[in-house]
Amino acid sequence: MNEKKIWQKSRMELLQDLSCGDGGLTAEEAAERLRKYGPNELQAGKQKSVFRIFLEQFADFLVIILILAAAVSAVLGDVESTIVILAVITMNAILGTVQTVKATASLDSLKQMSAPTAKVVRDGRVLQVPGRDVVPGDVVVLEAGDSVCADGRLLECASLKCAESALTGESLPVEKELGEIPGDAPLGDRKNMVFSGSFVTYGRAKFLVTGTGMDTEMGKIAALLKSTEEKKTPLQVSLDQFGRKLSIGILIICAVLFAVSVFLRHENVMNAFLFAVALAVAAIPEALSSIVTIVLSFGTQKMARENAIIRKLQAVEGLGSVSVICSDKTGTLTQNKMTVKKLYTGGKIISAEEADFHDPVQEPLLRTALLCSDAVVSEEGEVGDPTETALVRLGEANGFDEGDTRQRWPRLTEIPFDSDRKLMSTVHQLSGGLMMVTKGAVDVMLDRCIISPQERADVERANEQFSNEGLRVLAFGCRTVESTAVRLEDETGLTFLGLIAMMDPPREESKAAVAECIAAGIRPIMITGDHKITASAIAREIGILTPGTEAVEGAVIDSMSDEELRQFVPKVSVYARVSPEHKIRIVRAWQDRGNLVAMTGDGVNDAPALKQADIGVAMGITGTEVAKDAAGMVLTDDNFATIVQAVKNGRNVYANIKRAIQFLLSGNTAGILTVLYASLMGLPVPFAAVHLLFINLLTDSLPAIALGLEPHTDAVMHQKPRPRNEGILTRSFLASVALEGLVIAVATILAFHMGLQIGGAATGSTMAFATLCLSRLFHGFNCKSDAPVLLTRRMFNNRFLLGAFGIGVVLLGAVLLVPALEPLFQVAQLSWKLVGTVVGLAFGSMVVIQLLKMLRMRFK
């Protein structure tokens, strides 16, 4: 922009520069500008190209050694080995690329789903659009909790405060104001501007977009931003560590075997080297971490279809261990569809049907309800907070339009609602003077009203009666003020006008979801800003508040030390009138007891608690952008039942990852045991290098992925949550890996011996290779469950596994039976009898493992 900086310009100058008006752009203008300026996004952490992902598949230590081996074979004139090794490596790289691209694409689409949106004025109407579609010249509406998606100059501003720490490092929110700022002000002093990357902690505003994307202050430092690459999950980290240790062990074994072959058995150095490399490839589970990524990304797709959008991959893993779910009440456990049921005014309780705007006693209360509310109800639907839409609908039911009322007594200024203060006030020109009308939580309002003890007791009695019926109650008051410049301190000395009580019925699915939670060993807890009695009534109805547990107000824990709170939390199922600080302490207390805690939140102040929780869950519909940004998971339907469903998915995903790992590790163990056996017994080498490469890089990958896609079951919800620090590689898991590997190794060794006896070394090695390969394909079915599955319906319920098995059998069949492939894969021709023996032994290994599973189940 030209010499004079935008924060110094007058409003008119700026509108002229950007050729736009206060009323926003038209849709066509916005589309035109989007073409001109490009999407509103920072270009840090650019996407990798498919080719780059393909190349990265070769950046693995073992693959590099394989390439070297191929090169050496080429130099030595062994063209066949060279071709096969290169072909297998390339196939493996293609498979890896396809999986990575798919996984990244699904994670990207998830990110898009939870990407921030903005409220822009287009064609004179407020529209919700993706943040990336905002263009210079747009007028954007801001409310508490919104993230600011572009740089811009304020056009309107009501007590706006923005947190700009991402830009300026200043941790306290900055108060904003209209006006022109002279001189070359530093960023923090440009009070009339808002900046991309900050968020609104309080108030409302409208601003004119002056810069988007890389053309913002954030864009200037975008190069410094850390790349947005996904961090590894704890499971991936622990598997990587395990893999590294195992690799070192295996490399030592391979080196020893190489030395024995060359120096003691005087074998060809090249062959021995190739074999040692192949064995290392076959035994080192290099795919563990990537299998986890693939399975997690498939899991997140399923969750997204079921209304839970995962923002951090760690959350999927963590969901399986969740043992406490702290949930909001309004909108999560209840429908957030409020209907006014009762009123209290003039010392009397009346039903909503009896409300009468012409009654001089009721009129001030009912009028205040319409004035002190932002909701709009029109033919196109309802916009605004459901609590307020209920008030507006009460007016409409009685022939009073909120638009008319608000036009007659226009709002001059406001102090917006915030859930800490639990109040909202607006100032109007009323009956010759300025009048402030206030609504809010009953207990807070009563402390701000001038009211006799007798009247107060009556109001409290009415409030208790409403609350016992599970109704949500708001109190209303008013006072005259001197000027429109009202402050928080002015919300006192009010005249009490009455109460309005509304019904927010529990969601139909809440009760079943709570029961499912409890059966799964998870403790559901309600944490709400609402009144204790109202909260208790709802909590009792849906099964959260059970005999033996209690409901308390947040203030109760103020005086407790952390240790006292740790002892206290198990007794409490409902916390009412909580502040965001209470939420953090409650989460921490449960965590200190060794629990993994999921916590829901929607408001701007919930962000710290969402971050403190192991799994922060933000509301997609009613949640603020700030809450979504802090959360690991976003619910697109704001529904408690969706959290429980996500836990179920998380447990299933974890179980599937475990299956895939068990499959890979036990198969590798079988290969290693067979080679060690042959070496110790002084027998010929049981596999050619290409055999091991074939099994490990081709026929093994598909079943492993297929196991990661096992159909989910409800059975996981009949178990207790997995302890938070229990890894996958427990002793019993490794024991079963070893045992199953041993069984497959025995089948392979038997086949090897038979082959040796009947046709010598070549037949022996072909038999061993074929049996190991086919046993591992059968073993895929073993890994489906801890229980036996042989010939049950369960055995056939995963079409991916059936497909992977089919492809593996076809590939193996081709290698064994197509004469042209025999020299390439170094296999001898097998008689049909021997082929039958291979099938029998491989299937036999499966039967034995199934029997072992049966015994183990009995034993348990």
Give the binding site for ligand ATP (CB under 6 A).
328-330, 385, 387-388, 417, 419, 422, 424, 439-441, 474, 528-530
- In the three-class reduction of DSSP (H, G, I as helix; E, B as strand; rest coil), residue 331 is classed as coil
Nearer to ligand ATP, 429 or 579 (CB): 579
* Nearer to ligand ATP among residue 304 and residue 539 (C-beta): 539
| Helices 269-283, 640-680: inter-axial angle, 10-degree rounding | 150
Residue 441: CB minimum distance to ligand ATP, A: 3
Q: Which is nearer to ligand ATP, 281 or 494 (CB)?
A: 494
Identify which of residues 138 and 530 has a Cβ nearer to ligand ATP in the complex.
530
Identify which of residues 606 and 740 has a Cβ nearer to ligand ATP in the complex: 606
How far is Cα 595 from Cα 575, in angstroms, rounded to an integer?
18
Instruction: CB nearer to ligand ATP: give 330 or 701.
Output: 330
Nearest Cα neighbor of 204 from 331, 119, 330 is: 119
- How far apart are CB 620 and ligand ATP at their closest, in Å? 15
Residue by residue, what is the 3-state secondary structure of 166-218?
Answer: HHHCCCCCEECCCCCCCCCCCHHHCCCEECCCCEEEEEEEEEEEEECHHHCHH
- H or E element, residue 470: none
Which SS3 state, helix, strand or coil, does residue 377 take? strand
Helix (H, G, I), strand (E, B) or coil at 822: coil
Tokens of 696: 């490990």
Contact 352, 550 (CB under 8 A): no
Smallest gap from residue 576 Cβ to ligand ATP (A): 9
End-to-end CA, the chain: 75
Strands 348-351 and 615-619 turn out to be: unpaired
Give the shortest CB-109-to-ligand ATP separation in angstroms: 30
Dihedral pair phi/psi, residue 380, rounded to 5°:
-75, -10
Query: Closer CB to ligand ATP, residue 529 or residue 788?
Result: 529
Give the 3-state secondary structure of 121-137. EECCEEEEEEHHHCCCC
Shortest distance (Å) from residue 457 CB to ligand ATP: 20
Query: Taking Cα atoms as reference points, which of 747, 596, 613, 767 lies closest to residue 667?
Result: 747
CB of 646 to ligand ATP, least distance (A): 19
Which residue's CB comes closest to ligand ATP?
529
Helices within 41-173 (DSSP H only): 50-56, 61-75, 79-113, 165-168
Judged by CB, which is closer to ligand ATP: 599, or 745? Answer: 599
| DSSP 8-state symbol, 587 | H
Which among 328, 504, 530, 638 is annotated as catalytic?
Answer: 328
To the nearest 10 degrees (0 to 180), the angle between helices 701-708 and 288-305 is: 40
Q: In what order do the strands lie in the sheet with 423-430?
A: 348-351, 339-345, 495-503, 472-481, 433-441, 423-430, 411-418
261 versus 426: smaller Cβ distance to ligand ATP? 426
Toward ligand ATP, which CB reaches closer, 345 or 785?
A: 345
Least separation in angstroms between CB 325 and ligand ATP: 14
The pairing of beta strand 523-527 with beta strand 572-576: parallel
Q: For residue 796, give the H/E element and its range.
A: none
Please give the Cα distance from 473 to 464 (Å, whole number).
9
Alpha-carbon span 686 to 261, nearest angstrom: 13
CB of 417 to ligand ATP, least distance (A): 4
CB of 443 to ligand ATP, least distance (A): 8
Query: Is 138 tagged catalytic?
Result: no
- Number of CB atoms found within 10 A of residue 99's CB: 20
Cα dihedral across residues 714, 715, 718, 719: positive or negative: negative
Q: How far is the CB of 462 from ligand ATP (least distance, A)?
A: 15
Q: Give the type of residue at 229.
A: E
| Nearer of residues 277 and 610 to ligand ATP, judged by Cβ | 610
- Report the nearest approach of ligand ATP to the CB of residue 330 (Å): 4
Q: Minimum Å distance from CB 596 to ligand ATP? A: 22
> Which of these, 417, 403, 415, lies nearest to 479 by C-alpha position?
415
- Alpha helices in 616-759, H assignment, sequence order: 625-630, 640-680, 689-693, 701-708, 731-759
Q: Would you state the torsion angle of the CA atoms of residues 283, 284, 289, 292, taken in this order, to the nearest 10 degrees?
A: 0
Backbone torsion region of residue 678, taken as left when φ is above 0, otherwise alpha when ψ lies between -120 and 50, otherwise beta: alpha
Please state, in angstroms and as integers, the Cα–Cα distance from residue 216 to each residue in 135, 136, 145, 151, 287, following that order.
Answer: 12, 11, 21, 6, 42
Q: What share of the chain is helix, strand, coil (3-state, %, to 5)?
A: 55, 15, 30
Minimum Å gap between C-beta 399 and ligand ATP is 24
In the bound state with ligand ATP, the residue whose beta carbon lies nearer, of 284 and 372, is 372
Q: How far is CA 813 from the centre of its chain?
A: 43
- The upper half-sphere exposure of residue 700, i.e. CA atoms within 13 Å in the direction of its Cβ, equals 32
Q: Which amino acid is at 121?
A: V
Judged by CB, which is closer to ligand ATP: 583, or 784?
583
Question: Are 385 and 419 spatial neighbours (Cβ–Cβ below 8 Å)?
Answer: no
What are the catalytic residues? Answer: 328
